[in-house]
Amino acid sequence: MRRANMQNVSSNMEGHSMRITRSRARTLTSSQGLPPLHPSVTQDGKQVRRASSKRAASDENKSTTGASSCVQPKKRAVLRNVTNVVCESSYLNCMTGTKVIQDKKLADKKIAKVMPAVVVHKKPNHLEDRKEHITEELNKVKIEESECGSHANSKENIFAEQSKCATIKQSGVFGLLPLIKCNFKTVPDHNTSQRDEGKLCPKRDDLETLGVTDIDSKHRDPQMCTLYAPDIYTNLHAKELDQRLSADYIERLQRDITEGMRGILIDWLVEVCEEYRLAPDTLYLTVNLIDRFLSENYIEKRKLQLLGVTCMLIASKYEEICAPHVEEFCFITDNTYSKEEVVKTESQVLNVLGFRLSVPTTKKFLRRFIQAAQASYEVPSVELEFMANYLAELTLVEYSFLKLLPSVVAASAVFLARWMLDQSKHPWNPTLEHYTRYKASDLKTTVSALQDLQLNTKGCALNAIREKYKQPKFKCVATLTSPKAVESLFQK
């Protein structure tokens, strides 16, 4: 029997010289023939298409009609790209479905406005269990409302009622249950919230009535962060109180270090900043790290310079785009300390400080206050900026200024800088008072001490900062003096 089948297949193969197609293979398989041969030959990685599918189908029909044992194959429909059709129909179905849902929600809202409750006589069987469950929840809501009746005006109760209403709406049987009466008296008024915000943050119209110039109204410079500046400086004012430096750590903890040694170290670090052209923020952060570390750890006199270069290395990594390498800080100390010592001290300092490097320094407040001081100028004054920076950097060397907040020092520097450049009018105005949060009377002691420091009444021999600001690139502001004493402004 097997041999006969083989003979029939061979005769069929010889009789038809055409290539075997899918329909032909299916026909041969149904008539106990051989399985289809290897797939169609590919050329250049692409499958060769049939020359004429219609002609092949017609030839197959002619050949199969002659054989009674062969079953006529089912004619395949021409394939189409139905992707867009399906997506289009599904999209239309989704649109119609959402439209029906929206129309239903609008109808429910209209009914809720007109009727206080909806009563349905015919209840579907599959919704009875769900309704019982929701009625239990409503009873719980009523019990909670009765218990929390005294706190009806709180926002938490309002949000709880809204969330419970939302869960009932999502259950699908909202129309079968009594509607919940919303107490609109407990909903906070939007106008009152705006009035409360206006007390904390006055609007631009209120600032104009107070004589305050809005320095954040111009949003042209994105680096000024005018949209976020008020919140940023509110945070800085809060952090400077929490991270206040210790003003007596030399007397309390250090035995080998004196105020003069600290001043000599900082004066030398100013020269290092000038040598490597580091940013002023790096200098301020370096001094802050030194004082914070000395406030908590005892250190020997021979390691004070090591602490200074290590803190400057940390500050450079935090503030600079291209920070100097460790080898450069070792070289600047005439190779007194090795690279391993600097790296070990760096790890020690960071662990003692808890990696808290984002601190409010005088320089951060000074930018904001100088911007407020120049709001009344038609053309920004470069001399005012350099003079305020000069006076603020003079306080870094003085140990006695650690007891003052950075914002107070920055405001006093702006106060004295305006007075030294222009004695024709009072240096303080409502704009500066608004943005610095200090009145002129609050700065009396600090401004007087800052003027003594600028005039060098104590005869300090540390002149790195003075020599720095005598350069023409800083408009030689260190050579300027005021003909009138600043104390005359506070006599009234």
- The DSSP letter of residue 472 is G
pLDDT computed for residue 296 by the predictor: 94
Report the SS3 class of residue 362.
Answer: helix
How far apart CA 466 and CA 260 sit, in angstroms, is: 17
What's the confidence (pLDDT) of residue 319? 96
pLDDT value of position 191: 40
**What pTM does this model have?**
0.60
pLDDT (tens digit, 0 to 9) for every residue of the chain, 492 residues total?
444 445 444 444 444 455 667 767 676 665 555 554 444 444 444 444 444 444 444 444 444 444 444 455 555 555 555 444 444 444 445 545 555 455 555 555 544 444 444 444 444 444 556 566 666 766 765 565 555 544 444 445 444 555 544 444 444 434 434 444 444 333 334 343 333 434 345 555 577 777 799 888 866 777 777 888 999 999 999 999 999 999 999 999 999 999 999 999 999 999 999 999 999 999 999 999 999 999 999 999 999 999 999 999 999 999 999 999 999 999 999 999 999 999 999 999 999 999 999 999 999 999 999 999 999 888 889 999 999 999 999 999 999 999 999 999 999 999 999 999 998 889 999 999 999 999 999 999 999 999 999 999 889 999 999 999 999 999 999 999 887 888 888 875
- Cα 154 from Cα 100, distance rounded (Å): 37
Q: Which of 302, 268, 274 is nearest to 287 (CA)?
A: 268
Domains of the chain: 2-37+50-66 (no CATH), 91-186 (no CATH), 202-243+360-492 (1.10.472.10), 260-353 (1.10.472.10)
pLDDT tens digits, 413-423: 999 999 999 98
pLDDT score of 335 = 93
Looking at the DSSP bridge assignments, the partners of residue 42 are: 47
Report CA dihedral (284, 288, 289, 294) to the nearest 10 degrees: 140
Q: Which residues have CB under 8 Å from 127's CB, separation 6+?
A: 172, 173, 176
The per-residue pLDDT for 193 is 39
pLDDT value at residue 151: 47
For 326-379, how does the pLDDT look when each residue is reduced to its tens digit (9 = 90+)? Answer: 999 999 999 999 999 999 999 999 999 999 999 999 999 999 999 999 998 888
The structure tokens listed for 429 are 């105005």
Radius of gyration of the chain (CA): 43
Provide φ and ψ at 448, rounded to 5°. -65, -40
Residue 405 near residue 244 (C-beta atoms within 8 A): yes
pLDDT at 143: 61
* Planar angle of CA 365, 367, 373, nearest 5 degrees: 100
pLDDT confidence of residue 354: 95
Q: Which residues, at least 6 apart from 218, have a Cβ–Cβ distance to it below 8 Å?
A: 226
19 to 51, 74, 393: CA distances (angstroms): 11, 19, 94
* Percentage helix, strand, coil for the chain under 3-state DSSP, each rounded to 5: 65, 0, 35
